[in-house]
Amino acid sequence: MKIFENKIVTLIVLPVITLVIGSLIYDWVKEVPLFTLIADVVKTIWYGLIWFLNIELRLWWVIIFLMMLSFIIYLIIKMGKTDMKNAFPYRNYTSDMINGIYWTWKWNLTPDEVTLTNLKANCPRDKTPLIEANLYARHSHECPRCGSLYYDVDSNKVGVIIADNANKGIYTKNDLI
Ligand SMILES: [Zn+2]
């Protein structure tokens, strides 16, 4: 409703006020001979304004205008995304060999922060995801493909190391393919 009311103000009330004030100024100006030139200028501007407000819009003008507007908005959004990518140089650092295990993960990008997700320990021989081994040793894992056993596979520790590597820029360029 507010928008509708504002439209009424814009479409009806403002032009009426402008018309009344414009007429008063015109009447005052035309009675003073010295102001004939100014009166002509005001008249010209006034008729120009009326002419401008009476332009018949062609549909294709509107379509072209909307297309240009969409293109400009698209460019602005694209530039914003490029900035975010530049501020996130380790986006392709998603795998690393740490303490004899091949780790893979993803970066979750939100407007506020970047978080490490989907961290997985993989067998360094065949890159198969490891499963927890039924052993008494803490954090022991085994490869379901080749049966190799690995000890001290601690994703909490490794997550901290990966985040630290990313913050310090410690990762080989080979990872950034
Ligand atoms: Zn294996």
pLDDT per residue as tens digits for the range 131-149: 988 777 778 999 999 999 9
SS3 state of residue 73: helix
Which residues span the domain enclosing 133? 95-175
Given 86, 114, 139, which residue is the final one in a domain?
A: 86
Q: Are residues 110 and 55 in the same domain?
A: no
- What's residue 137's pLDDT? 74
Whole-angstrom distance, CA of residue 48 vs CA of residue 50: 5
Going from the Cα of 131 to the center of ligand 1, the distance in angstroms, rounded, reads 11
Going from the Cα of 62 to the center of ligand 1, the distance in angstroms, rounded, reads 63
- What's residue 111's pLDDT? 76
Count up the domains in the chain and report the number.
2
Q: How many CB atoms lie within 10 A of CB 152?
A: 13
Residue bearing the bigger pLDDT, 18 or 146? 146
Burial category of 77 from C-beta neighbours within 10 Å (exposed 0-12, middle 13-18, buried 19 and up): exposed
**Beta-bridge mates of residue 168:** none
Q: Are residues 100 and 80 in the same domain?
A: no
Going from the Cα of 115 to the center of ligand 1, the distance in angstroms, rounded, reads 28
Residue 2: is its pLDDT beyond 70? Answer: no
139 contacts 152 by C-beta, under 8 angstroms: yes
Going from the Cα of 97 to the center of ligand 1, the distance in angstroms, rounded, reads 14
Given 86, 106, 129, which residue is the final one in a domain?
A: 86
pLDDT category at 12 given cuts 50, 70, 90 is: confident
Q: What is the mean pLDDT of the chain?
A: 84
pLDDT digit string (tens) for 42-53?
889 999 999 988
